[in-house]
A and B are shown apart, each in its own frame.
Chain A
Amino acid sequence: MDILVVLEDNRGTLHRMSKEAIAGAQQIGGSVSALAIGANADALATELFTLDLTEVITVNHELVSSYNADGYAEVVRQVIDSESPKTVIAGHSYQTRDFMPRVSAKLDIPFIPDIISIEGGYTKQVLNAKLNATVNTNVDQIILSFQSAAFSDESVVSGSCSARSFEVNLDPSLVRAESEEPFQESTGDVDLESAELIVSVGRGMEKEENVSLAFDLAKVLGAEVSASRPVVDSGWVEPFRQVGSSGHNVAPKLYFSLGISGAIQHVVGMKGSKNILAINKDPEAPIFEIADYAVVGDVLEIVPKLIEALQS
């Protein structure tokens, strides 16, 4: 086995980033197998039967029926031990961050995380995305994780494969943490993920009362309003409006960004937008690197005039 892709169960279906990880693994080349863990392992495997994979290995044991770091790290260790993949790949999700370093420590193999590209070496962003770095290793076995949208799930190669169940040997004393059911804190009636037009606000709005400008603009455009994390953390807008790695993933026809710097954790949630129009007073703001239209200026000056012009 050349590559083992560790899949993630997103409440019964395959996590979007797992599919992207398979696409990335296929691009690296060689024989690619996938590993599904937990009560939904068979269902996840079924989703992959039409893909070009060697096989899907399934592990279903009562100690890992739902996610826990102790159990998952040990299961992945045992599968790597037995199947000896050269490369282990996962999406760079919160879950991967939670347990994959433990696999790295257990097996003493390096984990290169958060890769955005494999051209010319494993590339990741460093120093708040101001620079990129290629990271390499001097050992034969490695673990990689791919940042959201580093590969497109549309580029997954079709084919066929089947599932094989893998027997793990887990001692009940292994799982030390007691995990409660996951829950959602607040849900709004706004469906950002299928919105066609989004006006999104960042800390560049400067004050809470200025946020109403974004709602006014959204109203004339027929758009929804979303926000960066600091705006949510300050309580200026509701948490369900947050876009980014800890918020929603959006892909509207227009993402109109107002005073957002373009930090990577924000960008992963909106870079799939068809058109990105950004206003920022800093000509060097990273958001401009992914914008189609970069308006250098003061949002507090431009937006009121824009609303006025649109209304007339």
Chain B
Amino acid sequence: MFKAIENQDLIVVVDTMPMEMTGYADVVLPESTYLERHDYSRAGKNRVPQIAFRMPAVEAKYDSKPAWWMAKELGHRLGLEKYYPWKDLEEVLDWQFKQVGSSLEEMKKIGVKTFPSTEPIYLLPGEDYEFNTNTGKIELYSTDFAEKGYDAMPKFTRHDSPDPGFYHLVYGRAPMHTFGRTQNNPYLFDLYETNNVWINPRTAKLWGIENDSDLWLKNQDGVISEFSAKARLTERIRPDSIYMVHGFGHTNKHLSRAKGRGINDIPLITKIKIDPIMGGTGMRNNFVTFLLEEPSKEEIIASANYKAEKPKEKAASKKKSEKKSEATKGHKQESHKKEEAKS
């Protein structure tokens, strides 16, 4: 990937945060966050059809701008003014809202407007209906797949199994963070400042890993995680798998808090499976093993072609408020003791 990046003539990055990618950009166009800008309205054709207005809650900080502004300004400079015959997004939204019998003024007051459903959303009992398939029916056996030479009935294919000492790498989310872009927010950082490696206590025992042991991960292709994370022993994960919250292990130094915190799952995902029919990608088929000793910087960089000039930084352990700081402040984990007393 680094090679691909270095081969570009020009890289322009539009982002709300100084992410990894912005470090490679020739030009960075800082975008205001969703709370600081107007956006196109959300239209939902749900059970209750509705439109929702999105307006700034606070003024944009620094010289960040909304994406519509960047597009318009670029358009003007490229001599494409005629495609932007409006002053700002409010004008566009007002016109759009008027097409459905509302207005910017009204939407500013009510935020969300609902409309009556024009067509029934459920089938009535016994009602005739043709689905968009060859037979017009719900096809458990897909005649379309059969025609194109694929399995017409889903056939079970066994997933790969890890070698001894390796575990399925499972990643997901924490409710307080959104992808990789909120880790540097002071409040959210305070709540959940790093990810942990969830390990089943039985697996941990084999390795002599305890709660809060520092560890690095190495995948089936030898890629080592750039930073470490602490172990979290929990029954919420199977003994043959480990789990991590995605979005950590940032390397951009401008992410003053988040940089160097936790393990990034992305470099450890070197094997990607592609669904032969619809092209979907499966990335939870990678395996990792634990490194209990800190690997050398050179070893880490060589393992994955990480950017060498990014020095490895040890997460400074900042002790916070006495008791509420276990794994994450304000989020005490698994107080078995407390529970047992009660239930």
A and B physically associate: no
